[in-house]
Structure 1
């Protein structure tokens, strides 16, 4: 993994015109992170706090979404004299790119003031189009203390712009509210949201990296207002176009508490240039980012050796697991249906039947030698220990049948379709775990329609199962059947294609 530093000295309106070329070139030399340091030919002068700077910052972050790079626009010298030394969060940078004609002078400056330059620093001269009409310059307002809030799930360009606006406008400190589960419970694919502690750490690390001179105060946000309606020394709040009404509501609350009214600074939304589905949001959003994770490898496979390659597929009731299995079968996988194997394990004359008779009594066995499910159910569902005892009898029998089927399969990839994959620890014998999820509200609707039971009964059944969040802890790949069948098909095809790449390495 490699990092690059850009030291740019041209006027800001010229740099903005060349944004695409700047990042395209930087991406050729960096595989992980790109830092952008804007200055002038004097190198040690402050950068003015004007609209040209904000427009260039928005342009850089908007364009950066096309690249799998963590781009960071340094604000150490914006409106203030630059510090004697700058430390970059990612550590050593191997390449320096600059638009200055005095590239060696810039290299000397970088080595002395922007720490962690590689000993053999690769210096690249950027050729930019400088025939650009100047822009009208207006200085933007700054404040002692600024606040803002958000979920900040997997920092993307929109988050970075919001945080950077706040950091540029704050002279002393910034309060950032980070949404907790109370505010994220209705978000799309909430199970894939990064834990709050990590989100707070990511925000803190980003602000420390780009603007270390201001005080950072991160707060857990359990309601839409948070510290914005309790802190008396706040001067401004930074919001986006779509959350301006939230800023107005905060000021109304402050009026009621006889607190000063906050100036509202509005950040433009950034268009998403890499939308994968038509029904994704047009702006860059965490919801779209989470959707793009579906079908991808979230963590390395449990194991990589042995044939056939076994995928353990699981999901809650009505999650659409069977639909995913059919699609995988159509792509060439062998499906081991553990529900069917469960019925096979209960056949008359099997060892399972005798063990059940011994544990639960003759009355649970019908005259034809099959299990009387009604009698057995009355015993096990009323007593937790009895249910555990039944599982200890049945699960090993199903697992044995499944392993026999896997061994005799002539397919390279086998899918072990099992609702209790994780509860029975069958995932320990798979290469990867794939989990199919849908929101509980959608699952309830499907169960009510399919099983003709009440919502309360459907909810009770779901609450007895392992939660989506718990399943995802084990997941290598997550899929969702929440949207149209065509979307599910594309997800499965994406997951299958990526699996083929891993399997054929």
Structure 2
């Protein structure tokens, strides 16, 4: 059967049944053969299959409390979806569970999903034509299909291939859960993943008055792996709001940036509950200690699902044992972050130019060598910098005229160490002066090197411009893509001190004079990192090269 971009999965069995054994695993395995982009999940928390098929939609009722079975189901379903089909955006709908406002309904009947529904999928064991129509009527009585989706009368009803999911002798150990009033949670929420969805879903169900969400920002992010790749706070807040808007109709939500580990949780007198994972359970204790100091009530600490965030079986060097944004950021290394620059007239003819840059000791040159081994022509701008002010050149004379004869060594060449002491001071005027003298000449030499490489071949050549000051000098203007290598500040200092014998203070001063990793990443098409073992760097470079060759071959830029 053809794949559909989106669909709604109507689970007619009660959640206590669905959480039994490998039921969820088999349901997800069936669903991924039908939908490949967006899946909404309608689950029943208060009734079973016969009730859903024999109750008129308009008379369905949402209770003030709900069964605790929903919590392990949410965790299990999101975990299984992340394991089997990580590219499928799964959203378990919560509007029919617990107490909420009902704001997102048309005529108080129909719930609006943010994306169109193109098919209806069911787990019902005996999916006859009559039962299919009953399910269709149930869905049309519950949901307003977007205008881009199929009309209600023609939307297909599809069953999962292995559909015998009913376990009549399963006994639920559930208890009834009532709302906790004003609930607070916190997190970075970079790239909303299944673990975030579990946390946000359980918090939304418990918050029957107000949900306060703290999104970490500022210096708190600096401890995160590859924090330079973390999206801006406003973007992350919007992602949280978009997810909750899609799955829940609870309207009293407040999403705010927080700059310390506790945020408003220690000072808001109206809060009654904090939602955490097992890994962050200690944070609930710390919050309550802070609240006691402020003469406020302790918060009820709710630990999500099975206690742990969703596991991650990948072999990422980040050493994370759970699905995390850090792992996702690592997996993004070597992938295209934004479209290449294809429209400039300043590209050297006959070459596809990659501008490779990074801060001091970022491993940029080692990446260049790996790319060279894969077939790229590397133009080393650091070496061209030496040539730019070779004795006898106009640039040499300008450097001596502006910085004095003491920068000339006994061999008659520019002594870069002595020159460095003059330009890496507090005052940037000397550095700016030197750059204005040398950078135009380096660019001229670089273009000549690229021209030489292209003149020797009929096919377009992939050239890598290895340049520490690529962005500062504006050389990215004649590059199709900018690739950036990043390491942490501490790692860069350690490498420079060990490699060059410089003092920590001198190294910090040099790093301070450069662009930050964050500024470089904002300009990057591709980001790489040499923070881990060499095999991890090699894997990143090979992945980046493979994707590069694939996209420029598809674009007809080269034949490979």
- Name the TM tier (shorter chain): over 0.9
Residue 300 of structure 1 corresponds to 339
Residue 130 of structure 1 corresponds to 165
- 1:300 deviation in Å? 1.3
What is the distance in 2 between the residues matched to 1:412 and 1:391?
29
Which moved further from structure 2: 287-296 or 110-119?
110-119
Residue 309 of structure 1 corresponds to 352
Residue 523 of structure 2 corresponds to 474
- 1:109 deviation in Å? 3.2
Out of 72, 91, 112, which is 1:72 matched to?
91
Q: Describe how 1:401-412 pairs up with structure 2 within 5 A.
A: 401-409=445-453, 410=457, 412=461
3-state SS of paired residue (1:247): helix
RMSD (CA atoms) = 2.5
Instruction: Check whether the contact 2:220–2:259 (CA below 8 A) recurs between aligned residues.
Output: yes
Residue 46 of structure 1 corresponds to 62
3-state SS of paired residue (1:130): coil
In the alignment, structure 2 segments of 5+ residues that lack a partner are 45-51, 103-107, 555-560
What is the distance in 2 between the residues matched to 1:285 and 1:20?
21
Out of 2, 5, 26, which is 2:5 matched to?
2
Q: Describe how 1:118-267 pairs up with structure 2 within 5 A.
A: 118-119=150-151, 120-127=154-161, 128-132=163-167, 133-134=169-170, 135-267=172-304
In the alignment, structure 1 segments of 5+ residues that lack a partner are none
Instruction: Check whether the contact 1:4–1:26 (CA below 8 A) recurs between aligned residues.
Output: no
Residue 88 of structure 1 corresponds to 113
1:416-460 Cα deviation digits (max 9, x unpaired) = 100000011111111111100001011111111112122111111
Instruction: Check whether the contact 2:31–2:160 (CA below 8 A) recurs between aligned residues.
Output: no
What is the distance in 1 between the residues matched to 2:122 and 2:286?
45
- 1:248 deviation in Å? 1.1
Out of 410, 434, 441, which is 1:397 matched to?
441
Instruction: Check whether the contact 1:349–1:369 (CA below 8 A) recurs between aligned residues.
Output: no
What TM-score does the superposition give when structure 1 sets the normalisation length?
Answer: 0.92
Out of 462, 485, 491, which is 2:540 matched to?
491
3-state SS of paired residue (2:111): coil
- 1:175 deviation in Å? 0.9
Change over 3 Å in CA distance of 1:445–1:208 after alignment to 2: same
Residue 48 of structure 2 corresponds to none
Which moved further from structure 2: 6-15 or 183-192?
6-15
Change over 3 Å in CA distance of 1:386–1:247 after alignment to 2: closer
- 1:353 deviation in Å? 2.8
